[in-house]
Structures are given as C-alpha cells and as structure tokens.
Amino acid sequence: MALFGRLPTMMREEPKLAGKGRRGEMAKNADENILKVVPTLMPKVQEDEKEKANARGLGHDIFHLPPGMNAGGVVRDYLKQVHGYIWNIEALKSLQDPKVLYVFTVPASFSKPAQLAIKDAASEAGFRDGTIYLVKEPEGAATHVFERGLLSELKEYEKIMVVDLGGGTVDIATYMASKVEDTLQTKYLEPSEGLVSLPAYYNHTNLSDIDRNFHDLLSSRFGQKFSKQPVNCTGPGSPLMELFEYYKRTMTGDEASTKKLQFYLPMDLDNPNPRHHDADAQEIILSMDDWGDIFTPVLDEIKLFIQDQFNKAKGPFKYIVLVGGLANIPWIRNAIRQSFHSDQTLVICCPQPELAVVRGALGRLSSDFKQLVISPWYYGVGNLKNEEITWLFNKDEQYSDGKSPIKGFTLTHKQGDSKCIQIPVYGCNRANSPRFTKGNGVLHLGYFTLDLRTINLGKMWHVEGDEGRLEYKIEFTRQMAYVGKAGVLQIRALTLGGMLIGKLLEMEMDIAAPVYFGFSVFLMFVFIVVAFIPSPCFS
C-alpha cells in the first residue's frame, strides 16, 4: 500500500466499492495485473493538482479525508481489508493457532511517532493476533543486495547510499557498514562517529510524475480531443498506457534522435500537425525530444536530490544502490549511472528492484530465528568395500537449513588407480533405516565423485605396497546439507584440513522450504508489504 499526497497516476471510481466503506485508488499493475487501493492522506492538495484531477473527471473530493476520519483511521480501515483477505486464503484457513510474524516496511524518513501510528493502526485492524515488526525499507534493500553478492567489494566503515525510487517518493538513506563477513550490519551515520548526520530524506518525485507528464503533453498538444477521451482509452490498463509502459521499460536513452514512437488513438482532429499525429493511421507521434520532455524533469529532480545527499555526506560512497519501481526504467537507471558511477562509487541495481525491500526485510528479520528443515527421507552414502550404507540424514528429524551433519571416512588409494572415485548416494522412505543397500525401500539416487586430482597426494600418509605401488591413506569428512530454499541436497568432501576435494554436488530433491522456529513452536512468516509514503499526516 502506498500512501502519498500527490495526484496518483491511475485513479478512478469503482462502483462496486460504493457503500462498503472503501475509498481510494483502483490501479492496474502492468506486470502482475493486480489491484491495489491507495488512500490519499494529504489534508491539503495544491490547487493546480485539484484542477488536473477535475479535468480528468476525478473530482476534487477524492483528495480529502472522509468526514470525521484522520490518516490513522484510513490506514486502519484499509488494513482491516488486508487482514481479512489474508486469512480468507484457503491455504491459511487450515492452520491451527499459528504464531504469526507480520512485517511492515516503512521509509527510513518516517519519524518515531509516524512508525508508532502505523503499528497502532495495524494492531487496531486485527494484526494484534501476531507479532508486528517494522523494517526500514532502505535497510531491507541493502540487505537484499548484499545477500545476492552485489556488494562484494564492500569493506568495513565504507558507506552505502540506498536510493528507493518508489511509486510515491524518492527515499534516500545512507549507512556505514559495520560488519560484512556473513551478513550485512549497518548503522546510520552519526556526528559522534566523526561523520555528518544523515537521517533519511525523501522527495515527492515519483513514478506517477512520468505518466502525468505524458498525459499533460498530450493534453496541451491535442486539448479536449485528448483530455475528454474515455478512461478506457487513456486511463490505467488502456492500450495507450500499456504501450507507454512498454516504451518505458525498453527505451534506454541511446536511441537515435530520429526515432519516432507511435500510439494508436482515434481522435477527430481538425487540421492535425503531421509531426504529432498521423491522420490516416490514427496514431499519436512522439519524437525523442518529446520523450526527453517527459522524462527530463523527473530525472533532473532525482539527480539533484541524490547530489544534495552526496554532498552532505562529505566523503565518497562505495555503493549507490537503486531499488524501487523507477529503477526498472532503463532511461532513469542509465542516467543516474552516467551521473554518479565512477572508480570510487559503484552504482548498482539488483534484478527485480521493486521486490528488493520485501526480500531484504525477510532476510534481515529471519536472521534472528533458527531456520530448520525436516528431512522427509533417510539420506546417506555407500561403502566402497561392502554394501553398507552410512546414513547422514535421518527421516523426520530437524536440521539447520544449509548446515551439514559431518561423518569421518578413510579410504586407501593405490598409485595408478583412477583418482575419480564414484561413491553411491542412497535414500530410503521407510520408518527404520536399513543397514545394507539391498534393504527394502532403498533407492539409488546417483553418484558423488570424490576427485583426488584436486588434492596433493604427496602430503598424505603413504607407504609402498606389496606390488611396488604407493598406497595413500585418504582421511576426509563427508558432509551433507539441505538447502530448503533452493530445493537441493548438497554433498561435499573435505580433507581434515578443510580443503574441498573435487566439487560440491547438488541434487534436486522434494524438500520443503525452511520452517522458522523462534518461539519453540511453529512460526509462520506472513509478509504484509506496506510502502508508507510520508505526508503531513504521518511524518
């Protein structure tokens, strides 16, 4: 849910909601075709924006809070609908008294009172049946890109700027890395650390500004012939806006200056300018100069905002991390890179930047809980001398996700024999584990290759055998681990010194995703991703 005080890009009345205590915006997501309701919480809206809304048939009243309501009440009512929707999902109805963790993400610029107001609204909306956590959006985004290995060059005490190019605002927060070994730990830059104080900042430039500029250009060019078009011709989900969305996602800024963009829209124009409208094809024509006029004001404001925060830091940033919906637009992304990318500062954008916040919130919060997988079968390896099986995983037992039970092994390798030794891998679904490979229910799953070519045999204990060949005593540990998120069973062998022998083997298995245990009972994560945008009501 995005709460913002400016004219939403896609807003229209939904008759089906009338009389049900619902209000706000029905918007179509171009990627997933989902509907979202966006309450507008600004108590005052600039007159020019009211006029733009009125010109599009939206009316002034849509910008005002309902009588007798405050911003928290609107959020509470909306979250009641969200809570009801979640617990009407069939897969969740059957859960017996689950312990639930609800995670809400908020801009880093939110004040403490604003954060408390969000928690209070969520609690009143029904989320008190679980534990409510707030995660700051830039922290979640930074965690996500770190976990994906995108901050590989980050060192302690280096600074990160997270730029959340969202649908409602541009939100910037700056951090200094205090730990980078296994998980990213950050802290705000504070004066006590000899650094300028950099709390979070936000700017009202947003994704809707681009769509608004597009509509304003066509309205000024074609007048009421365009502005009076039906909503299904120029509004959200219309062929016109779908094509505009396509161009936004594909244009990079490197196109030839002569490139033309055509949009089919029948309009009964008097003496149309052929530079702007093809009367025969009934197409609107945009030049690259037009495209620049749509994007440049948004780009300039974003770059100025980033530069301002860059200057306040009084020192270089190792990374500028771009997240949020606007980061999906190549024209915006490339322009920011051209302005700020250097040998000292790397500008990066992760895949699916619009999901970086929620994925990072999951990673950041779940690191506080023990992640366990339950083995559905027995899994083990065969003995090279006989048909015995050494079981490493026991059926129905819990194991830490990604962690390995370790068993020691010893084998004798004779000089001249193959250094690639095939070790069979077995599984069994019986209640009790059989000792030998011929037991009922034992399945041969594949082979693990112990590749002795990757180690220095000369450092192993060895002796000359009866045949005049050297015999090497190979002592090693064999490790097996579930990685529930990836759905694989990992097997590897290590020397006693910890050196990998050969390669890690990954076998796809029907492994349930990790279960999170935090209160000694089943703890299910239900993520309610709420992108709260600052307004005078919540700041």
pLDDT tens by residue, 429-447 = 887 888 888 877 888 888 9
Q: What pLDDT was estimated at residue 401?
A: 67
Q: How confident is the model at residue 95 (pLDDT cuts 50, 70, 90)?
A: confident
Q: What pLDDT was estimated at residue 405?
A: 73
Mean pLDDT in residue range 523-535: 39
Q: What pLDDT was estimated at residue 133?
A: 80
Whole-number mean pLDDT of the chain?
Answer: 73
Q: How confident is the model at residue 36 (pLDDT cuts 50, 70, 90)?
A: very low
Q: What is the dihedral of CA 229, 231, 235, 240, to 10 degrees?
A: -50
Mean pLDDT in residue range 246-258: 88
Phi-psi region of 253 (alpha: psi -120 to 50; beta: other; left: phi over 0): left
CA distance 331 to 345: 20
Q: What pLDDT was estimated at residue 371?
A: 53
Q: What pLDDT was estimated at residue 485?
A: 59
Does the global pTM surpass 0.95? Answer: no
CA distance 426 to 380: 5
* Residue 247 burial class via C-beta count within 10 angstroms: exposed 0-12, middle 13-18, buried 19 and up: middle
Q: Is the pLDDT of residue 243 over 80?
A: yes
DSSP, collapsed to helix, strand or coil, labels residue 8 as: coil
Measured over the CA atoms of residue 236, residue 238, residue 243 and residue 246, the dihedral's sign is positive
Q: What pLDDT was estimated at residue 364?
A: 67
Q: Is the pLDDT of residue 175 over 80?
A: no
Q: What pLDDT was estimated at residue 293?
A: 93
Mean pLDDT in residue range 246-257: 87
Q: Is the pLDDT of residue 58 over 60?
A: no
Q: Are 59 and 44 in contact (CB under 8 A)?
A: no
CA distance 433 to 378: 7
How far is the CA of 524 from the CAs of 234, 367, 460, 466, 516, in angstroms?
42, 14, 49, 62, 7
CA distance 166 to 360: 16
* Candidate ranges 23-27, 53-57, 82-86, 187-191; pick with highest mean pLDDT: 82-86
Q: What pLDDT was estimated at residue 266?
A: 92
Mean pLDDT in residue range 185-213: 48
Amino acid at 59: G
Q: What pLDDT was estimated at residue 38?
A: 42
Bigger pLDDT: 224 or 466? 224
